[in-house]
Structure 1
Amino acid sequence: MTVVPARAAWSATVRTGQFLTLTDLHGNQAVDFLVYDAHDTAVRYSAPDTLQAGSGIFLTTGSVLMSNEHTPLMTVVEDNCGRHDTLGGACSKESNTLRYGHHTWSQHACVDNFLAEGARRGLTKRDLVSNINWYMNVPVEKDGTLGIVDGLSAPGLKVVLRAETDVLVLVSNCPQINNPCNGFEPTPVDLTITDGAAA
């Protein structure tokens, strides 16, 4: 069990058949997530392959996280939140500035977390791809634009993922304070790797 502080990054290898449980400890906290084949990081999460395989844009129980080679990386085996974002992407200094003004440039962002944590694992900016946002509520509006609205999560809700192959997981416990994805106050989350039956 690892409590990842608000705004912090985390990474780990999850072996085939192991389970990774993400628990939203305080509710309404977005968890940005990338996953790679642990033995060949050129094989990594692919949003297009995942959406095509799942016939939808939101993730929940039964969703399979597919690679850019259309192979399964992880499967959502339990989810008591009900819907997770695949389109909103990771916040960055550039997107913060564009959306919220130049005064936000110095604010820490998920891309910073991914770059720093990825560097510890031999990854570079070229290895960053479109990510999953667990617990983040990003509806598609009638005009086709994406909204970022209050989350659907609550304290103690969890997502359990089973590794279908050895994977490297990178997490940014989102530091965003300019929109409601974290209720404007980022909080810690719990990440636990277990063997055997789901937690």
Structure 2
Amino acid sequence: MAVETRDAVGVIPPRSGAAFELAAGDELTVIDAEGGQVADLLAVSREDIREMLSSGRTLDYAERIYLTTGDKLYSNRSNVMLEIVEDTVGRHDFLLTPCSEATFRLCYDNEPPHQGCHGNLAAALRPYGVEDDAIPVAFNCFMNVPVDGQTGRFKVLPPLSKAGDRIVFRARMDLVIGLTACSAPASNGGSFKPIHYAVRKTGEE
């Protein structure tokens, strides 16, 4: 029987990342506190870190590329890891992999090198045994990547999210979550802001 719940709130500074644990049934709220900021989210099974969030499985089962309330995020073993239970934006995707040092080297001529979301996720998840090369495509909260239906070409545009917008997930298994405040200028309209998050933990009698 569910008993009293409590909220734990965190702030991820601009261009950084964090990792934390969720138990099955916990709710995670990712908040774009200032507006126009992407967050990369990765989920890893606490029981077996080889089971991770899968963009391919999730998009296959959802049959669309933009995910919102009611959609489920699946693992590489086709198990539901997270379910979206609330969404005030309606534009999130799995289209682009986490930005990395190579992203800045290959895609940005005038930007200083940065380890990007890949490096931030790797650093945050390393204490849990997750190696750099194991990190897959993350779920891009608030990212705005429209795709041309005729040519398949896409554009990376500023997020549609406004200050205080949020997306809420319910954990469907025990998880380790990696979460970033994205470091790529194009993804965030050229500026870098923090991402806030809240974890609601529900105890069991």
TM-score, normalising length from structure 2? Answer: 0.90
Partner of 1:187: 193
Q: Distance in 1 between matches of 2:174 and 2:144?
A: 29
Query: Which one of 35, 38, 58 corresponds to residue 66 of structure 2?
Result: 58
Q: Distance in 2 between matches of 1:165 and 1:128?
A: 19
Partner of 2:180: 172
**CA offsets per residue over residues 35-84 of structure 1, 9 Å max, x none?**
01111111111111101111111111011010111010010000011120
Residue pair 1:93, 1:104 contacting (<8 A) in 2 also: no
| Structure 2 stretches lacking a partner, 5+ long | 1-8
Alignment of structure 1 residues 5-84 onto 2, 5 Å: 5-84=13-92
Q: Distance in 1 between matches of 2:103 and 2:194?
A: 23
Within the alignment, does 1:136 sit opposite 2:146 as a pair?
no
**Segments ≥4 residues shifted beyond 6 Å:** none
Give the deviation of 1:112 after TM superposition.
Answer: 1.3
Q: Secondary structure at the match of 2:125?
A: helix
Q: Distance in 2 between matches of 1:161 and 1:193?
A: 10
Q: Distance in 2 between matches of 1:108 and 1:46?
A: 22
Partner of 1:123: 130
**CA offsets per residue over residues 136-188 of structure 1, 9 Å max, x none?**
101112421221012110000000000001011101211222x1x21211111
| Structure 1 stretches lacking a partner, 5+ long | none
Letter in 2 for 1:95: T
Report % sequence identity.
30
Letter in 1 for 2:89: C
TM-score, normalising length from structure 1? Answer: 0.92
The total of aligned residue pairs comes to 193
Residue pair 1:34, 1:170 contacting (<8 A) in 2 also: yes
**CA offsets per residue over residues 108-137 of structure 1, 9 Å max, x none?**
411110121121221112321111110010
Give the deviation of 1:94 after TM superposition.
Answer: 1.0
Letter in 2 for 1:3: V
- When the two chains are superposed, the root-mean-square deviation of aligned CA atoms in Å is 1.3
Partner of 1:94: 102
Partner of 1:146: 154
